[in-house]
Every structure is written in structure tokens, then in C-alpha cells.
A and B are shown apart, each in its own frame.
Chain A
Amino acid sequence: MQDHTTEQELKDRLSLIESMISAGRRNTESWGWTFVLWGVVYYLAIAWSAWGHGVWAWPVTISIAVIVTVVVASLKGGKHPETTLGRAIGSIWTALGISMFLLFLALGLSGRLTDQHLFVAVISAILGMANGASALILRWKVQFACAVVWWVAAVITCFGTDAQSMIVFLVAIFLCQIVFGIYGMIAEAQERKRRGPIHA
């Protein structure tokens, strides 16, 4: 066989193996849409709270976001293979979703969602933990930068004024949810375009 096989073809095969193994292991980028969705959800909840329905804003928007995420993820389910890495990352974000759902539902319904500083600190710390754990597992520097932004936001909000706390929260949402989510989607699209179709 190798009599008819050029050196370039052999190199192409080697590079194909590397790119496919890497493509099989890298699945987080296809979740870019969830970061954007949750970023929008946070903005909606903040706007709704500011409008004067603080008790219901967070529990309702978080509940709707959880349902939308579960439904869309199950529809896209076929796009994700079973890997130990995937299960580890999935477990972190599932646990985060459950924690936020229960926490904000309970805080909202009990009427104790009143201290903005504490609220922003808790949500930022939780998101920093999830992003940090995910970034360390994936060795993904961009996501780790997001974790750092959330941790910084969690600390700053404890010391600043109400307005400063809200600005920090809005900026962190923009950078770590909207920008990072769009970056993930673009990276996935570029990877797909670069690889192109593989013929027999």
C-alpha cells in the first residue's frame, strides 16, 4: 500500500488522528449557548428586580432558564458522547444549576433576598467555583480567567456601594457569560470549518 502512498498523505493521516482525538475530548465549547442564555437570564432577572418584583424575579427566571436549558440540552443530546471528562464537567454544572435553583427559589419565596451585596457575592462565588473547577479539569485558560473575574466580583461587592456592587455584577455577567459564551460558539464554528468534511 505504501508504494502508492505519498509522504504528504501519511502526514495528513497523522494530523487527522490528532485532530479527531482532540475533537472527541473537547466538548465544552458546544455549550457556549448556555453561557449566553444564562447571561441574558441574569440581566432579565436584574431588570425585573429593579422594576419592583424582587421576590419573584429570580425564582421565576432561574426556573424558566433551568427548564429551557434541560429541554434544549436534551434535544442536542446526540451531539455529546459519553466520556469521563464530559461527566465530570456535566456534574459540576448540573450541581450548580440545582444549587442556584433551590437557593434562589427559597430566598425569593422567604422574602430574604434583600441584601444585594450578599446576593451578588454568593452568586459570583458559586459561578467562580464552577468555572474554576471546569477550567482546571479542561486546562482552559480563558475559562479560568472567567473564574477569576467572578471571584474578584464576589470580593469587591462586599466592600463597594450598592451602585458599585451592581456595576461589578453586570460587568462580570457580560464578560463571563455573554462574551465567553459567544467566544465558545465562535471557537466551535471555526473548529468545524477548519476541519471540514471527512470523506472515505
Chain B
Amino acid sequence: MPDLPELNPVVHGRLRLALLSLLSGVEKAEFTWLRAKTESTDGNLGAQLLKLEEAGYVAVEKKFVLRKPQTLYRITETGRQALTEYVQALKQLLGPAIDA
């Protein structure tokens, strides 16, 4: 029997996984958009984004638009790779149950 893959604990967190998935489909996204899509609180969202940033999975860009601060997030190549590997591991773990 082949070894079962390990699931990356940083990616596995529900909100972190949602954030990486959201960011994988866009070039960059604002904090407020991520908050609206995940319906999470500012504190929780900020904490999970920080974990992803520390892991090198997302990059942050802060700027001012019309004198209002704007925080933009984008998925890094490392983050995209981690998400791809996580999906592959998930499919391998689920095996035939994936279609059930």
C-alpha cells in the first residue's frame, strides 16, 4: 500500500484554505473583498492572512487610494504550489470516495 500523503497544516485551516483558493483565481484582492467573500471577522481574517504571509504563501501590498489606505493581497508562486500540492494530496487521500 503506498504511503498516504501529509496534508499541509498551514493550507488545511478552513479559512486559510478559502483565502488561498479565492486568491488563486484573481490577480490581487483587497482585504474588504476577502472579508465579504469569507464573511469572517476582521481579527480572524487578519490573523489567518498573517499566517499565510509568514509562510510565504501570500504577499501584501499597502497603498493609498484617494487618501484612503488600501491593503491588497496576492498569492505567491510558493502559495500556488502549496495549494496545488494540497489538492493533489486531498485527491489521493479521498481516492474513489471523491465521486461518492
A interface list, Cβ under 8 A from B: 1-2, 5, 7, 10-11, 13-14, 16-17, 20-25, 77-84, 86, 192, 195-200
Interface string of B1-35 (1 = CB under 8 A from A): 00010110100111111100111111111111100
**A79 and B17 within 8 A (CB):** no
Main secondary structure of the interface of B (DSSP, over half): helix
**A195 and B22 within 8 A (CB):** no
**A24 and B22 within 8 A (CB):** yes
CA distance A16 to B22 in the complex (A): 10
Known A-B contacts A2-B7, A79-B36; the reply to A200 vs B26 at CB < 8 A is no
**A14 and B25 within 8 A (CB):** no
Of A5, A14, A198, most buried by chain B (CB within 10 Å of CB) is: A198
CA distance A199 to B41 in the complex (A): 9
CA distance A197 to B39 in the complex (A): 5
Measured between beta carbons, the chain A residues less than 8 angstroms from B94 are 7, 10-11, 14
**Residue of B16, B18, B26, B97 touching A81 (CB-CB under 8 A):** B26
Measured between beta carbons, the chain B residues less than 8 angstroms from A84 are 27
Chain A residue nearest to B32 (CB atoms) is A78
User: Is residue B76 contacting chain A, with contact meaning CB distance below 8 A?
Assistant: no
Question: How many contacts A-B (CB < 8 Å)?
Answer: 108
CA distance A78 to B32 in the complex (A): 6
Measured between beta carbons, the chain B residues less than 8 angstroms from A79 are 30, 32-33, 36
**A20 and B22 within 8 A (CB):** yes
Measured between beta carbons, the chain B residues less than 8 angstroms from A21 are 21-22, 24-25
**Residue of A1, A7, A81, A199 touching B7 (CB-CB under 8 A):** A1
**Residue of B9, B22, B47, B83 touching A1 (CB-CB under 8 A):** B9
User: Is residue B67 contacting chain A, with contact meaning CB distance below 8 A?
Assistant: no
**A11 and B6 within 8 A (CB):** no
CA distance A195 to B40 in the complex (A): 12
